[in-house]
Structure 1
Amino acid sequence: MNEMTRPLRASDAQSDRLEVTLPAIESAALLQGRRELMIRHGVELYRLRLTASNKLILTK
């Protein structure tokens, strides 16, 4: 099982409760070499940006 398909455990989210399996998508797959992109959610637009310190910021 690779990093992209491994189950996300509650401990990954710094909790010691239930094991939760969630799909994981690599940020590189979303960004496709870009530093930012727009995400449409219903009628709202959000900007996902990769910072110089390799962090992700999602803003409305």
Structure 2
Amino acid sequence: MIEIEPSHDVRPAPARTIGASDSDRDRVPTPALTSDQLLGGLRAVTIEHEGTHYVLRATRNGKLILTK
């Protein structure tokens, strides 16, 4: 498993306010990661979430695809 450690350039994502509920506005913004940080120079990585494995792939056109 690849461990991702936040670097000094990880910045919070902007808070969303359009159509946000009161509980959404009270949330702390989540850190933003680059695709390079997620993929670590690879074309694809497996992400385990709640016991299910997903594959995050980078396409030749620079898009990201997440499949189950």
TM above 0.5: yes
The alignment yields a C-alpha RMSD, in angstroms, of 2.1
Residue deviations 1:1-58, cap 9 Å, x none? Answer: x5x4154243xxxx74567732111110111110000000121000000001000000
TM-score normalised according to structure 2 size: 0.62
Which ranges of structure 2 fall in alignment gaps of 5 or more residues? 1-8
TM-score normalised according to structure 1 size: 0.69
Distance 1:57 1:39 in 2: 12
How many residues of Structure 1 are paired with residues of Structure 2 in the alignment? 54
Q: Larger radius of gyration, structure 1 or 2?
A: 2
- Distance change (3 Å), C-alpha of 1:42 and 1:16: closer
Secondary structure of the residue aligned to 1:52 is coil
What code does the residue aligned with 1:48 have?
L
Which ranges of structure 1 fall in alignment gaps of 5 or more residues? none
